[in-house]
Structure 1
Amino acid sequence: MLIAVTDQNRLPLHTISPGITSADEEVILILEASKANQVAEDHYKDDFWDGPDLFKLNACLRFLKKSPAEPLELPIIYYNVHPHVRFCDGRHRTTALVDMGLKTVPVLTSKTIANGLVHLWGKKQTALDEYDFTNCTTKTILGTV
């Protein structure tokens, strides 16, 4: 079963996320799940947490298992200080997706930031097999072949 995702209420991205300007092209970047999880773990540690807030994580997991499923808002990443990538929003959703065994995690970002994170990219085809992007306005999806 595909997980429906959406970028509704997230665009224009520069109005939500620091480090992204109105001149940047908005893209959906496919991250390899283990690497996305590491970015989330690093962010928890940067905020002096031992890990995810279990209440938030369980709420994300319950949301993902609801039937009928509602589209999941895509997480957003940006550079805090280049090359340090950070979540603007969505690290608990990312952790939940990884905990569910998904191999990729789609996130919203700018094309400039995405091109600086090629080492984190996951397979685009795998993401297309895991997620339903029909509720997304953003049409550019970046990932490895």
Structure 2
Amino acid sequence: MPVPVTDANRLPLHTASPGITSSDTEVILILDAASAQKLVDAHFRSDDVAPEPTKLFFYQRLLGQSPQPPLQLPIIYYNTRPNARFSDGRHRTTVLIQQGNKTVPVLTSQSIAMGLQNLWGSKQTAMNEYDFTNCKTSLILGL
């Protein structure tokens, strides 16, 4: 069953994330799971912290509920080009990957997404893994 996701309470994105301006076009970027994991690992390393077990457990339980409530999409932005960072969602991303998902959808700007084309995952795979009906953002980028 596809994981329901949402961008509710995230828009406009420039109010929720540094590095994204009001002139940026908001998109859902489909990341390849391996690339998403590398971003998560790099972010935790740069902050010199480890994933919090309580947060991981919370999202594991949330994803196990039936019916499953929509999961807030993670948000990424550029911190120092070309490095992308999460402004929110590292633990959700980790749990989605641990669940075996091959892709991870994230909110970002179109200009940031275009600079991360080497991280893109399959849009078709994401459409099978996730339910985007609770999202206002209509532009979905991926391979």
TM above 0.5, one fold?
yes
Instruction: Give the secondary-structure state (helix, strand or coil) at the position aligned to 1:80.
Output: strand
Hey, what does 1:47 align to over in structure 2?
A: 47
Cα displacement string for residues 66-97 of structure 1 (whole angstroms, at most 9, x for unaligned residues)? 11110000000000011110000000000000
Q: TM-score, normalised by structure 2?
A: 0.99
Q: What CA distance in whole angstroms lies between the structure 2 residues aligned with 1:42 and 1:25? A: 26
Q: What CA distance in whole angstroms lies between the structure 2 residues aligned with 1:38 and 1:93? A: 14
Hey, what does 1:82 align to over in structure 2?
A: 81
Instruction: Give the secondary-structure state (helix, strand or coil) at the position aligned to 2:124.
Output: helix
RMSD, aligned α-carbons? 0.5
Q: Percent identity?
A: 60
- Structure 2 residue ranges without an equivalent (≥5): none
Q: What CA distance in whole angstroms lies between the structure 2 residues aligned with 1:57 and 1:118? A: 28
Hey, what does 1:128 align to over in structure 2?
A: 127
For 1:55, the aligned partner's letter is T
| Residue 60 of structure 1 pairs with residue 59 of structure 2 | yes
Q: Shift in Å at residue 54 of structure 1?
A: 1.0
Q: What CA distance in whole angstroms lies between the structure 1 residues aligned with 2:4 and 2:55? A: 20
Q: Shift in Å at residue 55 of structure 1?
A: 1.1
Moved over 3 A (4+): none
Equivalent pairs counted in the alignment come to 143
Q: What CA distance in whole angstroms lies between the structure 2 residues aligned with 1:4 and 1:143? A: 18
Hey, what does 2:11 align to over in structure 1?
A: 11
Instruction: Give the secondary-structure state (helix, strand or coil) at the position aligned to 1:122.
Output: coil
For 1:6, the aligned partner's letter is T
Instruction: Give the secondary-structure state (helix, strand or coil) at the position aligned to 1:18.
Output: coil
